[in-house]
Chain A
Amino acid sequence: MATISADERGALRDSVRRLLADHSAEADVRRAMETEAGYDAELWRRLAEMGLAGLVIEEDFGGAGAGPLELELVMEEAGAALLCSPLLASGVLAAELLRALGDEEAKTRLLPGIAAGTAIATVALTGDAGTWTPEGVAVTAAGGPGDWRLEGVASYVMHGQNADVLLVLANASDGLGVFEVDPAAAGVAIAALPTFDHTLRLARISFEGAPASKLKAAGPVWDAVQQALNLALVGLSGEQAGGARRVLDFTVDYAKARIQFGRAIGSFQAIKHMASDLLLESESAISAARNAARALAEDAPDAEAAISLAAFACAEAFSLTTATSIQMHGGIAFTWAHPAHLYLRRARADAQLFGPPAYYRERYIQQLGG
């Protein structure tokens, strides 16, 4: 991994913030979420140009060679701006799974396109149960080298309908494997799922004798999947923390500007106390997300616990902040035209994307020895 200084990280944050202020403002987000793909291809190209599509991909494969710290801070900005993009699905989850598996041929073939943003990859892991564990895998693989065939269903696949490359978890007679599938192949049926969060794209994919090639795995397959999930969770935590803080900021601004009873509503303790509580939640989320990024970057012994903590703390902070924000705004935020519900939708989606807060709390207490 390239060594990136604190100053360079600050510059990275600033440039991402500027780009998103210009191209992922509320109107841009609303436009993108109404498109079929769910993201603005031109903005995605710009992000790729900045090196963000391949932010955490090694430089040898055309990436920026950055790590969890940089990913987390970019995702804080992405969450604040409600960025619509396949970054988490393609540049993080799929790319990190390829790296973790260590199939050199596949990395050489696939990662440069992912890093350049010209190819969208995604990971199909869970089935209709939606659990992000080995037990959640509902696809089976039969056949053998040169002639693998997949059967079953994968669901909640991020950007499945936009993908050029599918990395599918499937159980074969010799255990769990990751299979590369061409989305256009016969026997692959991809159905876009209607999502409550309109800025998110999910698909359900049916496999009926779909041809697949098995990726080599240098170690246990689930370990590689977990490594990819860990990085994706750090990114997601950053998105949640950044989103929560942005929502608090515009809510506080509104509380200063909105006059009722001849006073700014923010002067009422009922509103002020809600805002103070949300500051604690959103700042705690930022601490948790950055701590998880640090622990993962350092490969610290408590990294897994730090990630679990961030997963549930950031999910709940974002959810609470967006929900409370609507109440603090009053009627204006009950309208479609106000952005508060867009963040609420994103928060609710993020809180389920890789498993719910309760799942990560249980994982956390186990990691602490309980």
Chain B
Amino acid sequence: MDDAAPLAPASDDQIRDEVAGWLKANWDPSVLTSAQAGRGEAYRAWIAKVVEARWAAPRWPVEWFGRGLSNEQARIVEREFARVGAPGTGQDRTQLYANTLLAKGTEALKAKLIGPILRGEIVMCLLYSEPGAGSDLAGVRTRAELDGDHYVVNGQKVWTSTAATADYGMLIARTNWDVPKHQGLSFFFLPMKQPGVEVRPLRQITDESHFNEVFLTDAIVPAENLLGELGQGWSVLQTALAYERSVMGEGARGPRSGVAEAAGEEPLIALAREAGVLADPMLRQDIARVIAYKKLNALNTARAKADLAQGTSSPVMSLGKLAMSRILHEEARLRTAILGAASLLEGPDHPRAEDANFLTLNAYFTSIGGGTDQIQRNIIGERVLGLPKEPEVDRDVPFREVRGG
């Protein structure tokens, strides 16, 4: 944004008044209730308006659509938006792609893409994992080679959602094979709509297809689309992953049937009541145990947030993903136990079985996706408890000599 004028520092009350006044003048709840809610023209226009008014990323500097607000003041903005149910703010906290680009992108790329990303005009995807590089992401073998003013990319990526519609993918690729694995990586914004990019949907164990394989064959990336320095891709990736982790855990999906159990009651108690097994003393113990897992996770999260608000970091924050894995797998097991033979069935006539069976499979989305539970335990052990790392046999070896497979 080149027309940025510095904004005068404002008090909390001034911020609150300004954002509330702006919302009163501009927010129209029908944006969310119109037929095309979520992706429609009215929604897009609203988001663009929020960006224009500098409410989309108020923590960001004024030259990049922001207001340079403190975290506390930005929370005031978010609370005011939430109060009226308006979307679009808080992107400086949640917009993975825009945050990564702002932090590491070239001026040219920022000028070209930050606005459209904030406005939701372009779709992004992640080109991280490969068939040969899952937990060991630094072992990627997709190669990017400089050729004049652009890089030529060859390789295969996997677990890419929204790849079919994406305009750009955040790509981690190897640009130097003669240094140890973490040092030879670079990070790019790869244009997806080009002949060298082929997207094939993956069929999941849930029989859904949320992810794709992406085949890169002589795909082209302009040199200005490099984020960070050449060979510094691992550090850019850590920046991006930090944003991703900060919004994870909010998105885990529960049962999918959408057929509500009795309102107001704990769903597992309602399910057992409906199935006629609520009197079973062993199931009662099991139900109490699984409800407790959920409640304890909520209490841990609340405690971590309170600690964070006081400026102290909490070891509890890192435990949420592990806790969520257990909750999902245990709830799936328990729902199956409650249903008994009914869990043999599937389809729309058997919504309770659908719930239990879907959850049984989709629980792995959380216990494998975004780093397996086992990797998460390593991270907790090493970063929170300070235990030493496993020796890494490939750490100081030129990547060319490292075993793959």
Contacts and interface: CB of A to CB of B under 8 A. Distances in A.
Given A272-B387, A283-B315, A370 B296 contact: no
Nearest to A6: B310
Interface string A309-341: 100110000000000000000000000000000
B381 A276 contact: yes
A275 B391 contact: no
A360 to B, nearest CB: 8
A266 B380 CA distance: 12
B251 interface: no
Contacts of B374: 269, 273
A58 to B, nearest CB: 29
Contacts of A365: 269, 284, 287-288, 291
Interface in B362-389: 374, 376-378, 380-382, 384-389
A295 to B, nearest CB: 11
Tier of interface size on chain B? 35 or more
Max count, chain A CB within 10 A of own CB: residue among B296, B386, B389: B296
Given A256-B387, A267-B388, A288-B299, A272 B292 contact: no
Contacts of A287: 296, 299-300, 302-303, 316
B361 interface: no
B285 A263 contact: no
Contact of A272 (B278, B377, B391): B377
B323 interface: yes
B380 A276 contact: yes
B295 A266 contact: no
Contacts of A252: 385-387
Interface residues of A, number: 35
Nearest to A273: B377
Contacts of B281: 362
A269 B316 CA distance: 20
A271 B388 CA distance: 11
B303 A276 contact: no
B208 interface: no
Contacts of A312: 288, 292
A271 B385 CA distance: 12
A255 interface: yes
A279 B278 contact: no
Contacts of A207: none
B387 A313 contact: no
B284 A275 contact: no
Contacts of B377: 269, 272-273, 276-277
A170 B316 CA distance: 45
Most buried by A among B269, B374, B388, B390: B388
A369 B266 contact: yes
Contact of B385 (A264, A276, A362, A369): A276
Nearest to A292: B299
A189 B327 CA distance: 50
A368 interface: yes
Pairs A-B, 3 closest by C-beta atoms: A272-B381, A266-B387, A370-B269
Interface of B: 265-266, 269, 272-273, 278, 281, 284-285, 287-289, 291-292, 295-297, 299-300, 302-303, 315-316, 319, 322-323, 374, 376-378, 380-382, 384-391
18 contacts: A252-B386, A264-B388, A266-B385, A266-B387, A268-B390, A269-B374, A271-B387, A272-B385, A279-B315, A283-B315, A283-B319, A286-B303, A287-B299, A288-B299, A361-B284, A365-B287, A370-B273, A370-B288
